[in-house]
Amino acid sequence: MRASLFAGRYRVVRRLGAGAMGAVYEVLDIATGRPRALKVMHAHAATRGDLRERFRLEARVAGEVESPFLVDVLDAGTDDATGAPYLVMELLHGEDLGQRLRRAGALPAAEVIRLLSQVALALDATHARGIVHRDLKPSNLFVEERPREDARIKIVDFGVAKVLTELGDPETTGAVGTPTYMAPEQIRGLPVGPAADIHALGMVAFTLLVGSPYWEDERGQDPITFALTAVKGPVEPARARAARRGRELAAAFDAWFVRATHPDPERRFSRATIAIRALGVALGVPAAMLEGEELQADDARDADEPRADEQTRTSSATRTGTSDATATRTSDASATMPLGVDTRPPRRRRAVVLLSAGIAALGAGSFVAMFHEDVRPDATRPVPSASRPARALLACPVLVASGVDAPAGWLGAAAAATFCERARVLFGGDPGSTLLPAELLGFPGQPSDRSPEDPYAGPEARTRSLDAARRAEMHIDGEVLRGASGFEVRIVLKNDAGVERDHAEGRGRGLYEAVREVMDALVTRGSLPRAARLAPEEADVSRAKDVDGALRLLDLTLAMAHNAGGLPGACAAVEEKASDLAEIGLIERYRCAYTLGLRTPEITLPALDEASPGALAARARLEHMVFRRDPPEVVEAILKQANEAPSPQARSTLWATASCLLQSTDPGRAAEAALLSVQASPKNPVGEFCAPWLQLAAVTQGTERAPAAVRGMQAWAPWEGYGWLLGALATEDAETSLVFARRAHVLSPFDTYVATVLADRLFSSGLREEVRGLALQVSTGGYPVHRVARDKWLVQVDASEARLSRALERARRVMGTEAEDAGWVRVERLQIAWRALEIGLLLGRGPEVADDIVRVFLEPEPPPLDGAHLDVPLRLPAICARASRGVSRRCFDRFRSLKERLSGGLLPETDAFVAGAERYAEGDLAGAAQAFRPLVRAPGPFVAVMGEAMLEAFEHAGEDEIVGRLLEALEASEAKAAGARAWMAQAATRAARRGDRARAERFARRVIDAWAMADADVPLVRDMRALLTAGARGRNSSNRSDRRGDSGTR
């Protein structure tokens, strides 16, 4: 055909190759002037109808499935002159992988993942159309070289393997493929489905990584002996076989290979993309997201998804529908795919009988010929894009929960989310590798008015999340029980069809400890994969060098959130790896000491590395936490990186860090940055005290945006005790506040701040004996912070029982700082001082006690204060306002000088609050009202510490509407000191002036009932008795007037 014109359009340049079915030529398309590849069917093959149909199938495959990894078929028909069927395709330049292996040997792991990711996308698409390749091998994977672009895979010889063998080609396969890559069902002559290509993909991966096929050693065997060996599937571990050939494979590869090449097709990966992303996890190389390819996640499992018992279709062009009910997900959300290995022995089959039938159907000669791979490049075949959604490796629906007050769904969600958070790191760190309960239920990935008040309260949360979990390769089910000694967790690991793969139980004082025990058992047995390396983005953001380090860091985060006694052990585990954790190792060393109330270590700030987003953010948080410094140039560098960072995890961490640093100087920008952080990755737990949801909740506290932020945090991080704690602080409903505070305490019983909020709610409900039990339980924590917290609650108990003198004496004694005080102990000491001031105000000794607090906490240098918690900068201005005149002025000046050091706990409207407090201390009530005005829309925490002052200021200004709003906020807040607070006397007086006798009497009696039997004189009790007496006289006078009026009418 050389130099001739074929089909009136294609000028033949040269012959490229030939096989039993046809020949391939390089041609010039005279209509376009472009070079093409022309495949022409041999005349003797064209006489057979079945072969002509196979030939046409190639064109149909390309037409039905578009993909950059299939050879484009541009034209097809029959030549009028010769009657020969032909195909015109794109002309490829390069070599197949068989040639590359012979030329260069084994490929690097990253290159293998890059190339096989493309193969996987193509296979998923063809499988979705009912087309199975059946002869996947290196020589059928053509590497197309492209100018100025990365090489690209093209799969060739789609659907023709069976035909070639029937024509007697000595170097290609029959209907069942090439023996060294064939699945056991192919060797048996059984019908095959997509699982056969998955098996071959596993074998190809081994070949590319090692440089020779798994069955290389068996090539010299006679066909029957080889078939009897191969039909059982690989028995010798892949790593051991590779080692004998001088190649070392990642430890996790064995588990992956066992699943990919399992003798039972039902137990292999369900999709090629899932298999290759799992391989990426095993090798520590993230599977590539390809240009122009969009991965999707099902809203629910597609009805037409091929089940194991349906995967028996042949390579005919039977089309299968695909569901339109999908929600598109970007590459940011899809990531690492499944691994999970079923270690149960394969089911026994009558192998010899079936083998005999399969080999007889082929003929012994054909089977012998199949041992030789076709190594000729053939640039002629189609391969598709991913038309099926890629799926996560593991989904974690809401578990059954018991041992806590109903509704218990929140605990089931907390346990499930804890499992998935640890699994994400275990799989290499990609956020897309797991699906949290929030994702399964479709919760908004940012604060929203659509977020439910109590996200997991209804029974439908478990049902719906369990149904949606089958979108993943694996999912968990089970139960979590909270008992007297901690938690018990029972987990069943299932595949996407709901069939159990493995199960395990775990126990622990903290929830994460019980979950960890379960996961350790599953990993040991190979049911849960463990990545060889972290994904680069996770390694940069977490600052860990390996999976073990990243897991230790996450477990420490969980130990902080589930503070049930395991925190010292988690701190010690991180300390062991501190040298491998860069800046985070220093942060956690400091944070552990701080939280346990131990002396914080000396920290040397490492050099600034702006090239690494993770290093830049971590160093900034370290400088912020330890040195209370937020250099503007560092803030700007972080903001710049946040806009440019390549991964959602990096963007999220950078935005959260920027919010932390901006909180004291620019609260508005801080709130915006925190929101951007959550939007970038609502699953991101990185950032210590500046973690995204925690930071967003902190910067919005006391504002109208707080409830939505807290609801979002509860939905996405139900394992985080502070999500429920902040919910207790944000709600105005006393019953809900107590419920949320109890949940926080269930998760974190040794967290003294959690216990403090719970104690306040218990006091509000009159449950003093429960507070005594709480104090006893927390005091068993064994660290200074627990001892000081116990003293604080004993002060509260005394005050609640009207032993005010005793409570004040105890508080002034234990609020005194000690040389060894550090970290959270300092916050607890100041809280005790605050209790002393509240009692002092009741007894008319407020200035005396406030002056004492200023002397202990503000005058020393350095001051024994810690500004990481909002209580500190919130209460100090209120203390200054209550001090004597001269001390008050010095106190406010000192507070301003310390503001930068207290930046970690500053609320957005702190400046307005300080200005109002200072005006009030000066006696300028009009100025105080003006300064306080910005706080009125969401008075929240401010009215809780200076409610009486704010009421007095706005009453003086005649702002009745604002006074009413403040009273509503105060009434909604918890009542302290045996169910009464000083502002109630103001409310009673105001109601009496307005003629609302019932309201005046109600508040007055609460004050009297609380403190009438106190062990010291309480001036407010005298005032309220006088108010009731005056009210009674007024009623009597009114009654007498009424009687006189009545008698006059008779």
Torsions phi, psi of 842, nearest 5?
Answer: -65, -35
Look up tokens 């607890």; give the residue.
Answer: 828
Dump the DSSP string for 632-644: HHHHHHHHHHHHH
Number of Cβ within a 10 Å radius of residue 217: 13
Number of Cβ within a 10 Å radius of residue 93: 13
Cα–Cα distances (Å) from 507 to 399, 478, 568, in that order, read 16, 14, 18
Residues 6+ apart with CB under 8 A from 636: none
User: What sign for the dihedral angle of Cα 714, 716, 719, 720?
Assistant: negative
Q: CA torsion angle for 550, 551, 556, 558 (degrees, to 10)?
A: 120
How many angstroms separate the first and last alpha carbons of the chain?
133
Number of Cβ within a 10 Å radius of residue 243: 13
- What tokens were used for 181? 């890559």
Q: Three-state SS for 294?
A: coil
Crossing angle (nearest 10°) for helices 547-561 and 409-426: 160
Residues 6+ apart with CB under 8 A from 552: 544, 570, 573, 574, 576, 577
User: From CA 751, how far away is CA 528, in angstroms rounded?
Assistant: 32
User: From CA 394, how far away is CA 391, in angstroms rounded?
Assistant: 9
Contact 795, 807 (CB under 8 A): yes
- What tokens were used for 594? 């701080």
Contact 691, 656 (CB under 8 A): yes
Torsions phi, psi of 476, nearest 5?
Answer: -105, 160
Displacement of CA 40 from its chain's centroid (Å): 54
Helices (H), 780-924: 784-800, 804-814, 824-842, 846-853, 871-882, 885-898, 910-921
User: From CA 890, how far away is CA 810, in angstroms rounded?
Assistant: 27
How many residues make up the chain in this entry?
1050
Q: Three-state SS for 722?
A: helix
> Is 683 among the annotated ligand-binding positions?
no
The angle subtended at Cα 493 by Cα 490 and Cα 498, nearest 5°, is: 120
- What tokens were used for 602? 């000396």
Closest CA to 239 of 270, 280, 282: 282
Crossing angle (nearest 10°) for helices 784-800 and 768-779: 160
User: From CA 940, how far away is CA 636, in angstroms rounded?
Assistant: 32
Q: What's the number of CA atoms in the CB half-sphere (13 Å) around residue 719?
A: 33
Number of Cβ within a 10 Å radius of residue 2: 9
Residue numbering of the annotated binding site: 39
Residue numbering of the annotated binding site for ATP: 39
